[in-house]
Amino acid sequence: MIKKLQRHYALTEGGAKDLVRATLWTVAANLSLMVPIGLLIMVLMDIITALSAGGDTANGVWSSTALAAVLVAVIYIVHWIQYKALYIAVYDESANRRIRLAEKLRGLPLSFFGRRDLSDLTATLMSDCSSLEQAFSHFVPQLYGTIISTVIIAAGMLAFDWRLGLAVIWVVPVAALLVVASKKVQDKFGTRTLLVKREATDSLQELLETVKDIKACNQKQAYLASLERKLGAAESATIRSELVTGTCVTSAQAFLKIGLGTTVLVGIGLLVAGQVSLVVFLIYLIAASRIYDPVKAAFENMAAVYSAQIRIERMRAIEEQPVQTGADHYSPRGYDIVFDHVKFAYNENEGVLEDISFTARQGEVTALVGPSGGGKSTAAKLAARFWDVNGGKITLGGVDVSTVEPEALLTNYAIVFQDVVLFSDTVMENIRLGRRDASDEEVFAAARAAQCDEFVNKLPKGYGTMIGENGSTLSGGERQRISIARALLKDAPVILLDEATASLDVENETAVQAAISGLVQNKTVLIIAHRMRTVMGADKVVVLADGKVVETGAPEELAKSGGMFARMVELQQESAGWSIS
């Protein structure tokens, strides 16, 4: 059963056990609420016996009062334990669920993130987890607890007097069937609402991220109108979904009221026929007035559980994604990177790399050049196993990179991309990210080599300055230099530089390149650069165009060969003389 619950509700084993425990305590709590009825029966019986025997009806008042006090204490304790079982366990499980999902996301290939919207993933991780937190603290255990306790109470009522029992109970399964039958409709509207709401959230996030560009393109009005449409659609979908759920649930709840009527009718019939006593009839009436309340709440819980199920499906879809696996330890012989007939496509039928073969040797700088969209960045990222190739193989020191666990592989890579990612932390910690155990002195040395020192010292708190979300308070060139310092600090045997110095002015670029040159001794360096002065310093050039290697060789030779590289050099020299007239 634990395994089944785990699968059904995407729980950990501990979470499933806690759910069972919480459900059992909910049963105990519900049953404890019926105990006062038992006490009432006892007191009424005592009074009737005393009246018929002409005795003192006050006899037994003290013992009944003492019993009532004990029962109140028991009810309190049971409810207290139920509360603890529900909430503490649920919040533990919720934290586990978030960590599990985050761990899963860490192991997924980048292709997954290309297919999925990031704000959708954030929503799944945060708001879906919160919704499930609520579902498992309020709805799921209560629902199961109420079903079990209602069955127990119904069995007791049927056993005591099946005719009155039936008169009270028959409405419960019929009303429950109404809610169960409406599941499909509720699911349909619930899923639609979730998707439309996500669309509106995506647009809102996009607006926040691109507000500069929207303003620059004069698209503010158009964008706001589209956002308003999406928010309106989300509102309408929510209202429709609530209406559908509300109609189903309240119809079922209203149907339960008929049970009170049938209890009165059957009870009076049996009373007139002398087949039940007035006390028994009254007790069934009291029970009928109490038993429907938890059932009504259970119907609301059922609707909430259906809605939680939609979110669970989305989480399960993430958890079932195949992760990139491989060996945690590997022993490369040197650090040559070999592309051996590599084929790759981001999307089926849209080949980006077709049969690429070249070698980036250790101790050399290999430059990937070529027209925009030719596949240079893709090739560099494949070398670090950001994706897995579709054909051929890439080896590092003779080891097929697809057989190595990505994080283990990346310990040997220092990577600088053009689109630098910085964290909302101090400059110091952003650089130290390259090597967590680096001393302050080592961080300063890397920063100096990457030409960061001058601008960092002008910041209000120097290296202790917080740099805002993704370094928003720094210029593009400054962000890039921090990223280079990070790579210098990592001092890994393989260095990938994708337009790493593109945002630097000529003076800084020269200085940073000098620092990089000092670092690349005996390392495998793969650079992607459009500036020919950067490329001409490489040992080898690989020209990629339309996903194919069209030329390979030393830059000076290729520059003279009259091919694509020579043409690129020529064009850049011409463009250096251009001016806007």
Which residues contact ligand ATP (rule: CB under 6 A)? Answer: 114, 346, 352, 372-378
Cα(374)–Cα(549) distance, rounded to whole angstroms? 9
Least separation in angstroms between CB 512 and ligand ATP:
20
CA 497-394-419 angle, to 5 degrees, is: 25
Q: Which is nearer to ligand ATP, 114 or 334 (CB)?
A: 114
Least separation in angstroms between CB 369 and ligand ATP:
9
Q: Which amino acid is at 181?
A: A
Q: Which is nearer to ligand ATP, 80 or 113 (CB)?
A: 113
Cα(284)–Cα(290) distance, rounded to whole angstroms? 10
CA 329-330-334 angle, to 5 degrees, is: 145
Which structure tokens are listed for 479? 């962000």
Q: Which is nearer to ligand ATP, 186 or 483 (CB)?
A: 483
Cα–Cα separations (whole angstroms), residue 60 to 45, 64, 279, 283: 11, 6, 18, 20
Q: Which is nearer to ligand ATP, 165 or 547 (CB)?
A: 547
Q: Which is nearer to ligand ATP, 140 or 527 (CB)?
A: 527
Q: Which is nearer to ligand ATP, 170 or 386 (CB)?
A: 386
Least separation in angstroms between CB 319 and ligand ATP:
23
Secondary structure class of 351 (helix, strand, coil): strand
Q: Which is nearer to ligand ATP, 311 or 376 (CB)?
A: 376
Least separation in angstroms between CB 370 and ligand ATP:
6
Answer positive or negative: Cα dihedral of 219, 224, 230, 233: negative
For residues 523 and 494, is the Cβ–Cβ distance under 8 A? yes
Q: Which is nearer to ligand ATP, 137 or 378 (CB)?
A: 378
Q: Which is nearer to ligand ATP, 443 or 525 (CB)?
A: 525
Which structure tokens are listed for 241? 């979904």
Cα(556)–Cα(540) distance, rounded to whole angstroms? 9
Least separation in angstroms between CB 440 and ligand ATP:
36
Least separation in angstroms between CB 498 and ligand ATP:
7
Least separation in angstroms between CB 419 and ligand ATP:
10
Q: Which amino acid is at 35?
A: V
Q: Which amino acid is at 430?
A: N
Dihedral angle of Cα 66, 69, 75, 81, to the nearest 10 degrees: -110
Cα(440)–Cα(453) distance, rounded to whole angstroms? 13
Least separation in angstroms between CB 374 and ligand ATP:
4
For residues 416 and 492, is the Cβ–Cβ distance under 8 A? no
Least separation in angstroms between CB 26 and ligand ATP:
48
- Sequence-separated (6 or more) residues with CB below 8 Å from residue 290: 33, 34, 37
Strand partners, 353: 344
